[in-house]
Copies of this chain bind each other. A is one copy, B any other.
Amino acid sequence: MPTTRTTRQREEILRVFEQAKGPLSVQDVLERAGLKVPGLGIATVYRNLKLLQDSGQLESVILPSGEARFERQGLGHHHHFQCLNCGEVVDLDFCPVHLPKGTTLPGGYAIEGHEITFYGRCPNCLEGSEAKPSSALKIGYLEERVE
């Protein structure tokens, strides 16, 4: 098998994840890592995300909007919160699900795991309520689905 080398691009991409408060999109990574590595190509980002995923350093998170993001692996059981205004996603240690191992629901569905995304407003967007939604945000439809 091929040995992996330490490159400026890969180092910077990893650093970006170490500084993140929540899962990042491919564009997030390109923009942030690109600050330190001018000329960074999108294909390089994709290749490294996959490589880091396969090597167990990153894992993917797909939000209910369909957007794929990535975060460091090994953060333990946690969920995510997405701001309906700015689209930012942060990690939450909070978990409301307390099902005994081996729980089977009526109908015979044996539960082995779960994934939750919470929606709402982040502190920034709550404070300045005049803040406009990011134009890049495509989660408007979520407004209707809120509990």
Q: How far is the CA of A113 from the CA of B108 in the complex (A)?
A: 27
Interface hits, A54-84 → B, CB 8 Å: 59-66, 68, 77, 81, 83-84
Q: How many copies does the complex hold?
A: 2
Among B107, B116, B121, B144, point to the contact of A116 (Cβ < 8 A): B116
CB of B96 within 8 A of CB of A109, answer no
* Count of interface residues, chain A, beta-carbon cutoff 8 Å: 45
Q: Assess whether A132 is interfacial by the CB under 8 Å rule.
A: no
Interface assignment of A34: CB less than 8 Å from any CB of chain B: no
A-B CB proximity, top 6 nearest:
A113-B146, A108-B123, A112-B120, A113-B147, A111-B120, A62-B66
